[in-house]
Amino acid sequence: MPSSHYEILKTLWEAVGWGSVNVEMTEKSIANSVYGLVAISDGNVIGMGRIVGDGAMYYYIQDVAVLPEYQNKGVGRQMIEKLLKHIKDHCPGAAFVGLFASQGKEDFYERFGFKNYSPEMTGMFMVMDI
């Protein structure tokens, strides 16, 4: 099993085709998460997901990844259910919960109530390479 948060994320990111991970940024980013979880099978990490945000009203589900050989077996569903339960258990009122779905995974998230609000609202982001 990978020995650090960074190595876990790196292994999962590479397995699902998300590219490489920056060591310095990853450790700090994970440490500043609102909540995170890993899925383990036979002592090995097979998936992860986390919540980032302000911990009060705005939450973003981030880095949900399951090793390809464990996909379509309920692992992702269980992780999303636990992440959403954490928000319900810790948010004092209405919560805005956002995420970006990988192409082709939209139907998976729609089962939990996530919706694409375009064209009325557009999710946007930028990557600042500093």
Annotated active-site residue in 35, 58, 109, 117: 109
State yes or no: is 35 an active-site residue: no
Q: Are 82 and 37 in contact (CB under 8 A)?
A: yes
Which helix (H) or strand (E) element contains residue 65? strand 58-66
Please identify which residue in the block is written with the tokens 């397995």. 15
- Distance, CA of 6 to CA of 25 (rounded, Å): 9
Helix runs in 16-105, H state only: 23-31, 75-90
CA dist., res. 100 & res. 124, Å (int)? 10
Active site residues: 109
